[in-house]
Amino acid sequence: MATPRHAFLMWIAQNDRMPTRVRLTSWGLGLSPNCCLCDSAPETRDHLLLRCEVSEQVWVLVLRRLGYTHSGFITWTSFIEWLSIKDSTAPLILKRLVSHATIYSIWVERNKRLHDGISTSPPTIYRLIDRHIRDTILGKHNSKKSFKNLMLSWLRND
Ligand SMILES: [Zn+2]
């Protein structure tokens, strides 16, 4: 279900091996350790992917869309815990699909701002995630009947 590049990035993040500014600085590269998205806090994995004001705005939209009432995650550990728990709000496979896509989109946004000087607003990032989720579910539509239910779950709070 998950695309290989999303799964690979999740693996890198899980092992805290992303080349964030804080890690690059610790290698002796003379860079600012500040976040590429907000420039107001050190760019650690947890800050960049979960706590940054830009990332938080994306998570608020994504979590609301999935039907959750909480708006984000304080730590990577609490995020992974939430991601591994089956609950009645959203199918686990949809939670994972959407979360992986969100993490990937935030990392892509960070790199676009850093390397290309292009900024995309959180609502637009959210719309791109939405399109990706629809395309992914539609792409699997004929292989399993359960994907119809996934699409219904995703569209329920649209
Ligand atoms: Zn930030």
Measure 23 CA to ligand 1 centroid, in angstroms.
15
**Gap between the Cα atoms of 98 and 35, Å rounded:** 23
pLDDT in tens, 92-133: 999 999 999 999 999 999 999 999 999 999 999 999 999 999
The DSSP secondary-structure symbol of 34 reads: B
Which pLDDT does position 142 carry in this prediction? 62
pLDDT in tens, 1-46: 567 888 899 999 999 999 999 998 988 878 899 999 999 999 999 9
Q: Contacts for 129-135 with beta carbons within 8 Å, 24 or more apart?
A: 129/58, 129/62, 129/98, 129/101, 129/102, 129/105, 130/65, 130/158, 132/101, 132/105, 133/94, 133/97, 133/98, 133/101
Measure 132 CA to ligand 1 centroid, in angstroms.
24
Measure 137 CA to ligand 1 centroid, in angstroms.
31
Three-state DSSP at 19 gives coil
pLDDT in tens, 39-96: 999 999 999 999 999 999 999 999 999 999 988 999 999 999 999 999 999 999 999 9
User: How distant, in Å, are the alpha carbons of 113, 121, 153 from that of 110?
Assistant: 5, 12, 29
